[in-house]
Amino acid sequence: MRYLIASFTHKNTNIETRERLSFADETLRKRFYEALLAVDSVHEALIISTCNRVEILVSAKEVEGLGDEILGIICRLTGVSCDELDGKGEIYTDADAIHHIFSVVSSLDSLVLGETQIVGQVKDAFSFSYEHGFSGQKIARVMHNAFRCSAAVRNMTDISKNPISVASVAVAKAKEIFGGNLGGYSGVVVGAGEMGELTAKHLANAGANIILVNRDMEKALELAKRIEKVTVTVEPFSELPKLVNHYRLLFSATGASEPIITKDMVEETTFERHWFDIAIPRDIEQCDYENLTIYAVDDLRTIMQQNLAQRAQNAQKAFEIVGEFTENFFKWLQTLSVDPMIKEIRKKAREASQKELHRAIKKGYIPAEYEKQVEKILHQAFNSFLHEPTSILKKIAEQPQADTVVQSVQVFFNLNAHQRKAINTYKCEYQIQKDLTTKEKD
């Protein structure tokens, strides 16, 4: 079993290309999954698509040449030319791939170091992949270890202290523009999803009143109830053309595949407007007006660099934790191999039978000249007894529940004591919950 990641991020791919690779459309995403799994060597796949990155993780029998195949599929389905992708993105394999995905989930590869929403975004991506049968045991192992690694980084360092997200960076920039205080101002927030909610909460903490706009009014009203300290007004999506020309501050964070604020909606104003487009693909079509400034995700790098300097020491410790988790992950994988475990169980049975046989001969219960015959009978008895359970072990080795079964057997027979962990330590919590749900339905 091997792993490969094709990674396109704010570090190696411009925003225009990332927009076209975002797989925001669910139908396109499913087609891409199906194309990936149609490759002979690919077993499972996971696509993580956020405003700052597209990560394509696959488990495969072989990875030689696989990166080029994946890039070919990307170009075919998205319309992005291979020339455009030339020099962009990174390909990671095996230990490098695991180290990279652990770093991503631990927010060490984020635009804003230490931001916390990446964990939720990755969990959602994995849930989608698993629910639709695009991933299973092999990627579940990686994901659960990645989430454990992320938790360790948060608990053992201060890297996420006073957590910072792209949304908070946008609000911080707005505060900077308006003299450090947004009290008395109103900000239009377009979108009531995770990023929209984060933006609204940061605006509320900064003292700004909020005008919330969303296609789903019920969802917007529910979000409005969760915002405290300030006045929150909910407006229908149809009012957006009026709102964009009335307020100084606007933050847009929807999941739309096309711009929702277009040139024809925008009018010239006598006052300055500052709009923050924190969506990928972008929500705001480029407009050239003297009193209008539009900030895209990539424009927030300056504040990110300031945070990086403050958190450098924590990052070093965090990367050490990621390195340890990466090393332990591969050590643990080795302990899950069924054949060596079966061999060790049989060895223990043989040693136990020989020990008791020698004791019986010493005490005179069995004549010494019968040693070989009795030894043969004992070995045949143990082999017969172990045949069924070892056969079952081999059959379930590739099933999602196999890790828990294998670790249970390790506990019962005291195998791999130096590597053995508690039952379910490594089993994906999502799979555990899914198993429980399935049992309740049955």
With beta carbons less than 8 A apart as the criterion, state whether 218 and 239 touch. no
Q: Which two tokens stand for residue 329?
A: 């992950």
Q: Which among 316, 108, 278 has a CA at the least distance from the CA of 195?
A: 278
Q: Is 414 buried (19+), middle (13-18) or exposed (0-12) by CB count in 10 A?
A: exposed
For the beta sheet containing 273-277, the strands, ordered from the edge strand earlier in sequence to the opposite edge, are 232-236, 209-214, 186-190, 249-252, 273-277, 292-296
Tokens 């300290």 appear where?
A: 229
Q: State how far the Cα of 373 lies from the Cα of 382, in Å rounded to an integer.
A: 15
Three-state DSSP class for residue 171:
helix
Please identify which of the residues 51, 75, 149, 287 carries the catalytic annotation: 51
Burial of 75 by CB count in 10 Å (0-12 exposed, 13-18 middle, 19+ buried)? Answer: middle
Q: Using an 8 Å Cβ cutoff, are 78 and 6 in contact?
A: no
Burial annotation 366-391 (CB, 10 A radius, 16+ → b, else e): beeeeeeebeeebeeebeeeeeeebe
Mode of pairing for the β-strands spanning 209-214 and 232-236: parallel
How many C-beta neighbours within 10 Å does residue 33 have? Answer: 22
- For the chain, the first-to-last Cα distance in angstroms comes to 32
Q: In whole angstroms, what is the distance from residue 210 CA to residue 249 CA? A: 10
E-strand ranges in 253-291 read 273-277
C-alpha R_g of the chain: 28
Asked if residue 256 lies in contact with residue 237, where contact means CB atoms within 8 angstroms, the answer is no
51 is catalytic: yes
Catalytic residue numbers, as ranges: 51
